[in-house]
Amino acid sequence: MRKPVLLLIACLLTSALVGATEPSPADQKWLHAVETMVAKGDNKVSTSSEERVNLAKDWAGKNGYSVKVTKEGNSFKLEFASKDSGKTVAQK
């Protein structure tokens, strides 16, 4: 009886950890908005969420951008630049 219970607990913990690493639907929607803004040439974004900063950094690295993060009070200011030219998105 103990083995099945321990196995069930282990499975539940594993699934909880895997689910915790995925961004929330709201964070995914925010990232999509950032992608759209950067594509249009807007290179400055702000957020109060450190998790969203990390999402933006991951996205930027995978898509040929660098991102400069500045913390101002309770919010973070992000500025995207193209890695290949060193120019900000708006300067392209």
CATH, residue 84: 3.30.110
Shortest CA distance to 52 belongs to which of 79, 81, 23, 83?
A: 23
Split into its structural domains, the chain has a count of: 1
Classify residue 38: in a domain, yes or no. Answer: yes
70 — phi, psi (to 5°)? -125, 130
pLDDT tens digits, 26-73: 999 999 999 999 999 999 999 999 999 999 999 999 999 999 999 999
8 lies in some domain: no
Q: Is residue 53 part of a domain?
A: yes
Domain that holds residue 74: 21-91
Band (20; pLDDT cuts 50, 70, 90) = low
5 within a domain of the structure (yes/no): no
pLDDT of residue 31: 95
Q: Which of these ranges, 1-15, 24-38, 71-85, has the smallest mean pLDDT?
A: 1-15
Cα–Cα separations (whole angstroms), residue 23 to 3, 26, 51, 65:
33, 8, 8, 20
Answer whether residue 36 is part of any domain. yes
